[in-house]
Amino acid sequence: MVPWWAKGSHKGTSVVVKMENPNWSMVELEAPSEEDFLIGSTPTGSREKLRGKNAKQLTWVLLLKAHRAAGCLTSITSTFLSFGSTVRRRVASGRTDDNDIETDENKAVKTGFYNCIKVFLWLSLLLFCFEVAAYFKGWHFGAPNLQLQYILSVPLGFKDLFDWLYTHWVLIRVGYLAPPLQFLANVCIVLFLIQSMDRLILCLGCFWIRLKKIKPIPKHEAVADLESGEDSFFPMVLIQIPMCNEKEVYQQSIAAVCSLDWPKSRILIQVLDDSDDPMTQLLIKEEVHKWQQEGAHIVYRHRVLRDGYKAGNLKSAMSCSYVKDYEFVAIFDADFQPSPDFLKRTVPHFKVEQQVNGVFINFFGFNGTAGVWRIKALEESGGWLERTTVEDMDIAVRAHLRGWKFIFLNDVECRCELPESYEAYRKQQHRWHSGPMQLFRLCLPDIIRAKISVWKKFSMIFLFFLLRKLILPFYSFTLFCIILPMTMFVPEAELPAWVVCYIPAIMSFLNILPAPKSFPFIVPYLLFENTMSVTKFNAMVSGLFQLGSSYEWVVTKKFGRSSENDLVSLVEKGPKHQRVGSEPNLDKIQADLKQEQKARKTKHNRIYTKELALAFLLLTASARSLLSVQGIHFYFLLFQGVSFLLVGLDLIGEQVI
């Protein structure tokens, strides 16, 4: 009798299993057939034959699984060996993030911050050993209040000295450590919720703008005038390209600006070279001369006294007598390459009819590049000032306080270069987060006295400066890198799981929602943002209290699409046009470029001490969380600790040595 599950036709199908090891042969496995289900009516010999066949198939399946497991184990082992070898090289090289500290003041500031992290690390290691010993002596409970009830019910006599010490430690936790830690955690949670609400509103606003296709629309007459092609309808535009020792990217930026679709007689390009490297100066001069010979209206400027960094460079260029003949100025950093129609898509908006006039606050921080200014607005706002490292945000704030409006064109894009390494990105982020705090100290009285609405004052002080520039790096570092690990050792102070996991995940999801291709990177994005909170918090404190590191202005290093080989080949070709004056020493330039190319290949990765100390702190806290069976906290601390470890050992980005 055929069982009910065997009814119907069952035809065996062949499954070919390919073994990766060439010493093993291929084997064919058959799927179950009707004979496999006719157990009751099958003779004893056939039954034994089927059993042997099935046993052979099972053996091959087990061998296949064993082979895969061996391959996986081999891969994991090689990965750990490679990781260990890399760590040994990092430690042996002795290159840390403190090697480039130039002044004693900067060294004292950074060393003090690092020492504070080390104190938390050693304290966590000591407490971890203490808690492990207590765990094996029976001090493990599911909830913090049970510990207190247990201690209060224990008689005065104790088993040994350890029990006495641990009992008093728990009492100290409950009475003295947990309340202030819980209070600080609650404050950070409130700030976290406020900032999350702000991000949610911004995301919803962006979706609403995209859904309704809201954008500034220039007057039809302004666009028609430009499309007519008559030079008289094109306003005079000054283009500025500030640069400093950026020979990796100067060629494409100059070429892109010289290719702008604008009448040559209505545009002037200023190449503002602050390079202190004679070789770089000669290369940039040669590039400018080449474009001059091709008909571009371009000039080269170099300052003898390089005061004020980029702000001083722009301020010096605006003092030229011919600037008064121009109505607008467009600024592009050396690593930005505008599209040919950039000016035609931006300049008409200076005669704008806004569709949403008064609905949104028309202010945002100018990022110093890929923007067009009305020169009158710069002059009435006081021009470029060298008082902070964010001169672009400084002029934007002062212009807004004087009533000038800003327009953001989301559909106008400009290509740019990314920082060449994590070290370059780290220094860039330090400058971007210390400068706003410097500016906030300086501009607060002006904002209060400004003749603008109370809502705009509140928006600029609370939303722009406090919430997005101060509170965000403060709670990101304090809540997730200090308070959360400490609650593992003081479990009477608790952080809810929704604070640790759900809301950060939702906010990260909303941030990358406009770019669906970024969804696979949502977890790495969240971990990396928390890792960068160390740099941002340090920069925020430095700028707020005017410490030494807040005045550091380092040009962000870029690779550029043109490599050193391209530059060498360019020099080998020699000048294309006849020049008046002495020729540059091309042989020396070629030799210097080749020498620098060789030096770039032998550069070393660094060890970032603060990130490394925090990695061990978070990993220790994750191990401690296992004693309290806190699942989501363990996984967050574990992955966050691993991300800090990777960053601390400089295992992200380009790996050199």
Q: Residue 538 has which token pair? A: 């340090």
The three-state secondary structure class of 330 is strand
CB 174 within 8 A of CB 492: yes
Q: Residue 240 has which token pair? A: 């500025």
Q: Which residue do the tokens 């020396």 mark?
A: 588
Q: Are strands 298-302 and 27-30 parallel, antiparallel or unpaired?
A: unpaired
CA distance 104 to 559: 31
CA distance 618 to 362: 42
Tell how far CA 640 is from the center of its chain.
15
Q: CA dist 333 to 252, 364, 473, Å?
A: 11, 19, 27
| b (16+ CB within 10 A) / e for 47-72 | eeebeeeeeebeeeeeebeeeeeeee
The three-state secondary structure class of 587 is helix
Which residues, in sequence order, are CB contacts of 626 under 8 Å at separation 6+?
634
Q: Residue 395 has which token pair? A: 């002029």
Could you give the residue numbers annotated as active site?
274, 392
Q: Residue 69 has which token pair? A: 């497991």
CA distance 306 to 312: 7
631-648 and 522-544 helices, crossing angle to 10°:
70
CA distance 576 to 559: 25
CA distance 30 to 43: 21
CA distance 46 to 108: 85
Residue 60 has, within 13 A of its CA and on its CB side, a CA count of 17
Q: Residue 504 has which token pair? A: 């950060």
| b (16+ CB within 10 A) / e for 359-397 | eeebbebbebbbbbbebebbeebeebbbebbbbbbbbbb
Q: Which residue do the tokens 């990765």 mark?
A: 605
